[in-house]
Structures are given as C-alpha cells and as structure tokens.
Structure 1
C-alpha cells in the first residue's frame, strides 16, 4: 500500500499563464514559485475548462466539465449528487481543510429557500472543512483585521481604496489603505501556518486559496511600486476597440458594457477608455500582487522545510482562471480569448524528482487535478470524472491516447451583474459556447450565434475570424465534428458502465 502523504493545493485567483517566469515572464520576481518550478513540472498548455470563479472551481474540484456539473455561472447551484475532491478524500481517511473560498451555491433541494447562502455570490463546497474562512462576505478576514486592532472603515471595502485624500479612482501606483502585514494575502498565509502547526503528525490535505491578483488592482506598499509600467508588456489589441467589436456579437456586447468600477473601487467610465499607459500601470500593480503572494508562500514553504515535510508533500500551484488585463480591450474573465482561460499549473510530486525542472507541453486541463490528487493519495477515480490523472506526465511523459486538443466552455446567461442574454435576444439555455483548440487551429462553437475559427500559426492573438472563409470550410467542419465527438465521449456516465445480467449486477468499468 502506498505511503500516506500530504498535499498542498494552492489556488490563486485570476492569475494568467503568461505571467509566470518559467513561461517567459522574466520581469516577474517570484523566487518561491521559481523554486517550485525547479523541483516540479511546469505545464505550458494548461487551461481552466470554464470561467468565471464558481464554474471554474466546480470543474477543478469535481473533475467535471461544465456540461456535466452544470453550475454554469456564479450564483447557479451545484448539484449535491456530484462527487468532489473533498468528499472523495474523506472516503480514504483524509480531513480536507480549506482556506479561502470555492464560490459554490448550494443545491436548493438540500435546504430551504430562506437559507442565507442564497443571498450571496457563493459559499463553501460540501466536503471541505474551512480553517480560514473568506466566504460568503469576507467576514473571516474582516474579523481577523478587527482582532489585530485595525479600525475598520464604515464601508469595509474602502481598505482597498488608494491611500491619500486626493487619490483618483482608477489605475494607480498608490498603495491601498491596508498595510501589507494585514492584507488578505497575509491573512490566508497566517491561517495556513496556523493550520499546519496544529495538524500534528497526521497526513493532511490543505487547499490554500488566495484572493489575489483578483481586482481591485491596488496593492499594499511596497508591492504597489515594485514594478515599473515600462517593464510590463503592452496590451495586445487592435488600434480601436470598435475594430475588435466587429468580430462577434458577444465581443461587441462586452466591449460596450464593461465598466472600470469592477476593477478599481470607485472608478467610472468604460474599460475601453483605458489608454496604454493606464494598462501598463495596472499590469505593474497586478505583478506586485503576484510578488506579494510569492513572498507569503515563502512562509508556508519554509515551514514545510523546517518541519521536514517538504519531501513528503505534493505541492500544486494553479489558478481558477485567467485575466484579459487589457488585451482585446477587455478586463476580467469572459468570452473565448486565451487570456481568460490559459492558467499556470506547477506540480511537485512528493518524493518524485525524475522530471524536476521540466516544462511539459502536453495539453492539460483543470479537470485533471481532482483525479491526479486522488490517485496520488491512493484513492479511486470516480468513473464520472472527465479529467485524467497527470501522474504519468510527472513521472515520464504523456501516455498513449493523451488528448490532442484543449477544450473549454463558457455560459454567458444573464446574472445580476451582466445581461448578455437579454441584449443578444437569446434564451438562457442558448447562451453558451465551447472551444476546441490545438497547436494550429481554434474553433469556437456557439449554441445560437455564429461560430469563430482562427489559424493560430498565422494569427496567434485571434484577430481574424475565418469561419466564413470558403478556403477554410473543410477545416471548420472538421473541428466542429471534433467538438461534437468530444461532447459525446464525455456525456454524463456515472452509471453507464453498469448493467443487469442473469448473474446480477455487472460493472464493466472495473478492470478484470
């Protein structure tokens, strides 16, 4: 029997893949993450299978595609019947601890309509034990601040406003009003070290979530000026946002409707009003928030070193989704562009150094993490899981039959902060898209809107839609068929391997 081990699953929020030094972001200073990359495997072609937070975390923790778990948007409930990593770990004797959040709305059939969890964006997923609460309204963090002696303003979120009475809302290099030692990043780290000191000699699993570099894009000192805007890569976008809007109706909706207020507290105006200097300034702050996370992660990794647990601990670093960061004139995690879906993944397996420092180019997806962790700890991967264990890639390379493309989905139905469904004249069950993307081509299929097709070799940033090009008609058909085959292969299959026989129940999904 495999020796019991520990797992540290680090899930940051809104960290896009190209802001990783190992993948080319040489301007970013993250020594602790660099160490993890040296001792583990970095995955070059890794995506979240859906956005935004709630759906992405549902896929990460259940191993299911959006089309199967159906928690299709923030505030949409997650069906209680689904197995998730927390529940699965309990079955093999682990007590899965969680710091941070999962943005999960409960199944209404398991409770009543007056349950206060239905008044929030999301709450904690069943199966996990919170040891550092943030959801549903950040009460755990704000309570911690008060306990530290910090006087909270009347509107608690004002701690993230830029310092100074003359500060103007928007992209800024001014620090936020909360000091770094009391930031939400420091809070999560404090909770993590406290948990690790209390868990004793028992094998443990810890989901360590960080809120950053999620907006508001305002960093505490000294991280607010750690990077200069000139160090940052400029935005990838057409000369005018109107040029991009012509590509597709959904893109036009977002370009016309996204305001700066969701990203900078108190700011007005459209995101498309941000000039390049403002985008670079915002990116410098974004990078500063990343370095703040890295410095705090150092405290956690140092504790594992000091207590001799580093070698016995699998460490996974990833994000729930990416961030447009001004590319294509967008902010946030929306639509179909790579910036929203490509995310970092670094895995250091416990006691396995055969591929230390490697950069793996195989196509991997967020649904792979649940089966990877479960298999590493000796559990059985549920048949319904859509992902595949990454252990073979950590120990050698992709096995025969590994996926030949990336797949991801997005459901853009109306929710309380965005109404594309109404604007575009769609039914909510028509408001969705799916993507199949390999090294050469990317196909985007919409339930009730025109498709998109890109030649990634000639147009890596996806400015030119070739879906209606007669010269590409055969390829569009081929990729549409591949997308349909993918959906058919991954249709819900919890019980489809069972059958009744004269000898009784037979499970054809269990190896002979």
Structure 2
C-alpha cells in the first residue's frame, strides 16, 4: 500500500450545516455524515467567503480569493492562461506527482467538460443546466428520460421551489452521481494513490426529492425561519429579480410560512438521501480495502437561506449563506474532534497539497487546516459586496449602499445592524478588509508585472523593440 493517503472530497451543493445531525439537527437523520464527524475533525465555524456557486468553486480549486481570481459571479471562469501566471488547480499538482485524479458529478466549470487537472471526469451538471449534454444527460436518454426544469415537476410553482422528481431512484441526480463515483472507486487498480472529488448536484434547488421519500421527515418539525430585518430587506429587490429569470422562474416577492416549511421539508428529505449516498461511498472504500488509507473531506460551496430573512438561496453575507459544514475524517488515525477556530474554504487547497506530501504553493491565500488560528479574519467578495468576518463580529458592505455590522456573540441571528454603534470595531474590520482586497487585487493583476523595469542591469530591456512576456510568468 502507498504511504501517501488517498483523498476523497465530497462536495454537496448548497448544504447548510444546521441540517446535519452532527451540527445539532434533531429533525432528520444523517448517520453516515455524523459517522464521518465521529472519526475525524468537525469545524464548528467554516466559512464560504464568496457564497455563490462558481466563485466559491474557483476559490476552492485555486486556493485564491474571488477578488484575486476575478470570479465574482456565476457567469465567468478562470482565465485559460492561468498556468503561465503560475496559478494551478489543486488536482493538477497531485496528478503531476503520481496521484490519479478524478471528478464525478457537478463541477460548474466553463466549458462544462473542462478537465482543470482531473484526469477522469464523469459529469452531471444538473440541476439547473438542463441543456448540457453531459454523461448524466446520456444516461437519462438511454432510458427514455430527460432533464427537467423545476416548473415541469409537481408542486414547484405552488410552493416556490419545493417539488417532487418523478425519475426512477437510480436516475435521481445525487444518486446517479454516487453510483458512478462508487463504480470509479471499484475500478481502481494497484496501489497508486487517488485524489477524487464528488460534486453532488443537491440539495441545491430545485428542492426535488422523489414523492415516495417525503414521509421520512416530519414537515412540522422544521425549524422556523429567521424574520426579515431592515438590513436584509435592502437585498430583496436583487434577490427577487434573480429568481424571476428563466433558470428559476419563481417570484419570491412573497413567501409564506407554509411555503417555507414545505421548502425546508423537501430540503431535509434531500439531505437524508444525500446521507445514504455518502454511506455508499464510504462502504465502497471499505469493500475495496482503501478506507484505512483515505482522508475523507466533506464540505459545501455555500449555504442556503431556506426562508431566513425572507430570502432563498445564497449570495449575501448572512450566516445561513456563508456557513458551511466542514468535516475531515483521516481514517489512517481516526479521532473525533471539534475545532472551534474558524476555517475558510480557501484552506482546502493548501491542505490537499499538504496531505499529498507536496510543498506549499505560493498562490495559496488560505492556511492548512492542520494549522488553525482562533483569531482569524476571513475576507470575502462577490459582485454584490464584500465581507470581513472575525470571531464575534462581521462587517458587510454591498454595492446597493448597505453597510452592516453584526455582533455575532450577542446577536448570532443577525437581527440588529450595529454599524453606527461600534465605530472602533467598524474601523478595525474595515482596515483588515481593505488590506485583503488590496492583496487580492495585486494577485489578480500579476499578469501585467514587468519585473525587468526595477533598476535592471544593462541588457535587452534597454534595447529598442524589447518585448515583454505576457502574461508575466509565474514566480
């Protein structure tokens, strides 16, 4: 057996931690995910600095802030000449050192079949990529089925996103991804280590478990949503406009308690089914004799409001949007721990390299998970605003003019914006946020560097018609 560990990265889409048993949820059952926490480290506070699908994934892939990658919304992707700038993805580096790399499920790359360092890709860009002819599309077509928009499913319009998916169980998107990932694990030969990412399309909306599964969770047991605030209401126009577009075709200008309960119920059922998919993959590792040399990482790209503040999805910097689960179970030496120091999704990149026995990469802007900092400041950015979160406090600034400061110790539900009551805290966080933004801007524009211009010795730089390299080569 290799002395380098296998790495299995499980990434559900849009999963908030308080819908998992190991994070305190008592209204549903997630025994497989809870067992991962019982064998490893569970981070109590893990943050998605840029809580939108593509920005979060680009940051995880490169270890860089969104304000360094330039990926601030869902309609852009990493520059194709990034390698010339010295920017690599986390799977590229292990692959170059002898790891077999694979990505199964949803990755959200553009083009959708881009490799980005994964030697094998099995693709399911569901749930909102209806026209992508990926592997999941062909599996559906082989059985006379097609991808469906939520509005083609029972219940979608009435409950504003809570529907039931009529596909057979083995063709439900998360289940299909789990079985293809298990097939890939079973097909691995020899003792070459693997680094594999499994991107589950759910529990992201459409909230569409099969109808026969709805009875497994009591809808009356759903926790109530946090009420809207004066601050959160400033984000409603952009929120409503986004969901009215074709991808969702929903009007969230109003949202009743009954609709929120239905959405949360369908979401909880989807999470329980996701737990079964996680159980399948852990059991497959055990059956193939690989579990004892595998580090399993379980996280998500961002959370989901699920009606908190009268909002749905993600995108703003409230806790339901930025908080994610993070569990690392190292089955070489299983031990249950709870880490209270905050972590960022940017920390996955340096951690993957560290576990693979590779040197640190200069591009990484996170810190290894094995090196926690209880006083850490975590900065974030999207096309809509910027955030700085430190233990006990969070500062948010938005393009719509809203400024918000929350005392997370006294007001963990973020019901009171105290931006004017704590000028010293505001100034301290603002200074740290500015420093992070400047660091990201410098990294994001490294392609334009001309190092020869710094008092160079006599040489080609001084000759007529000298040509600078572009993009500037990575250091």
TM-score bin (small chain): 0.7 to 0.9
SS at match of 1:96: strand
Cross-structure match for 2:425: 475
Q: Does 1:175 align with 2:164?
A: yes
Structure 1 segment 264-343 matched on structure 2, within 5 A: 268=250, 270-343=251-324
1:406 corresponds to: 378
Deviations 1:293-342 (A, max 9, x none): 11122111111112221110010001111111100111111122111111
- Cα distance in 2 for partners of 1:229, 1:62 equals 40
Matched, 1:145 2:140: yes
The separation in 1 between residues aligned to 2:258 and 2:365, in whole angstroms, is 42
Q: What corresponds to 1:89 in structure 2?
A: 94
Taking the aligned partners of 2:277 and 2:331, their CA distance within structure 1 comes to: 22
2:472 counterpart residue number: none
Q: Which residue of 2 aligns with 1:16?
A: 16
- Where 1:10 maps in the other structure, the secondary structure is strand
- Residue 75 of structure 2 corresponds to which residue in structure 1? 75
Going from structure 1 to structure 2, the CA distance change for 1:272 and 1:168 (only over 3 Å counts) comes to: closer
Contact 2:17 2:324 in 1 (8 A): yes
1:78 is displaced (CA, Å) by 0.6
Partner of 1:228: 218
Contact kept, 8 Å, 2:231 with 2:402, in 1: the verdict is no
Q: How does 1:119-268 map to 2 (within 5 A)?
A: 122-135=112-125, 137=132, 139-147=134-142, 150-152=143-145, 156-157=147-148, 161-163=152-154, 169-170=158-159, 175-201=164-190, 202-238=192-228, 244=229, 246-247=230-231, 251-259=235-243, 268=250
Counterpart check, 1:370 vs 2:349: yes
Residues 445-468 of structure 1, C-alpha deviation per residue, up to 9 Å, x if partnerless? 34673422122233222232222x
Is the CA contact (8 Å cut-off) linking 1:161 and 1:218 kept in structure 2?
A: no
Distance 2:219 2:238 in 1: 26
Instruction: Give the Cα–Cα distance (whole angstroms) in 1 for the partners of residues 302 and 290 of structure 2.
Output: 29
* 1:391 paired to 2:340: no
The CA deviation at 1:125 is 5.0
1:441 pairs with 2:393: yes
Q: For 1:369 and 1:172, locate their aligned partners in 2 and report how far apart those are by CA, in whole Å.
A: 31
Between the aligned partners of 2:455 and 2:296, the Cα distance in structure 1 is 42
Deviation digits for residues 334-392 of structure 1, max 9, x if unmatched? 12211111101100124123xx2211111100000111011101112211110111134
* Structure 1 residues without counterparts, runs of 5 or longer: 106-116, 239-243, 393-397, 413-432, 503-509
Deviations 1:401-444 (A, max 9, x none): 665233222213xxxxxxxxxxxxxxxxxxxx221122322111
Shift of 1:40: 0.9
In 1, Cα distance between the equivalents of 2:368 and 2:173? 32
- In structure 2, the CA distance between the partners of 1:125 and 1:236, relative to structure 1 (3 Å rule), is farther
RMSD of Structure 2 on Structure 1 (CA): 2.9
CA contact (8 A) 2:405 2:417 kept: yes
Between stretches 53-62 and 448-457, larger displacement belongs to 448-457
- TM-score normalised per structure 1: 0.79
| Structure with larger RCO (C-alpha < 8 A, sep 6+) | 2
Aligned residues of 2:163 and 2:206 also touching (Cα < 8 A):
no
Counterpart Cα distance in 1 of 2:196 and 2:345 = 18
Match of 1:102 among 107, 111, 114: 107
Query: 1:131 deviation in Å?
Result: 3.3
Matched, 1:360 2:339: yes
C-alpha separation in 2, matches of 1:457 and 1:14: 25
Instruction: Report the CA distance between 1:91 and its aligned residue.
Output: 2.1
Name the stretch that deviates more: 271-280 or 382-391: 271-280
Cα pair 1:101 1:124 within 8 Å, conserved: no
**Residues 173 and 224 of structure 1 are in contact (CA less than 8 Å); yes or no, is this contact kept in structure 2?**
no
Tell me the CA shift for residue 25 of structure 1: 0.9
Deviations 1:98-153 (A, max 9, x none): 00232223xxxxxxxxxxx4xxxx55352113431124715311211233xx3225
